Amino acid sequence: MVKKIYKTEKEKMISGENYFPGDKELISDRKRAKDLCFQYNSLPNSEKQKRKDILKRLLGKYEHIISIESNFFCDYGYNISIGKYFYVNHNCVILDCAKVTFGDRVLIGPNCGFYTALHPIDAKERAKGLENAKPITIGNDVWIGGNVAVLAGVTIGDNVVIGAGSVVTKDIPSNVVAFGNPCKVVREA
């Protein structure tokens, strides 16, 4: 007889299954992340070591130079993976219910959002309070202009420029310039 293995809501969330975001553990994790974001955003830029310490607590291990301007917001922090030489301008939001992976030498303009969370299209299903999430992956040597939204399940390849104001709803291949709503490839990079 095969024993049924029960997953926590956190395990379901991370694995892309439907999960209940009102779970006590997830509420606690979000509260921790929101408190750390608040602390980070409240510190003056001159308090570099304190800001770095908060980012390490929020994001976990990272080994290379990263710079995240205030204000910065995320849901959990532990689902964000950052490569070498990472820069984020002001007012970035990362809804990291699923993994959000940034490669090396990624530049992100102001007012950008990375949204892994998904809710059911059907209103009756949505009313049950379940949601799921799909990962976002950003390659190496990517520049994302200001006011860009990257949606759940999207992969952006290496050596890509995403023009300001774009809404990225589908994968973008490597070595291109893309922009628009929806974001589309306009030329090779």
List the structure tokens of 14.
């991370």
90 counts as catalytic: no
CA 126 to chain centroid, in Å, comes to 22
95, 73 in Cβ contact below 8 A?
Answer: no
Residue 2 has what DSSP assignment?
P
157, 174 in Cβ contact below 8 A?
Answer: yes
CB atoms within 10 A of CB 33: 23
Set 48, 50, 56, 119: catalytic member? 119
Beta strands in the chain (DSSP E): 66-68, 72-74, 80-82, 86-88, 92-95, 100-102, 107-108, 113-115, 117-118, 132-133, 136-138, 143-144, 149-151, 155-156, 161-162, 167-168, 176-179, 184-188
Report, as residue numbers or ranges, the catalytic residues: 119
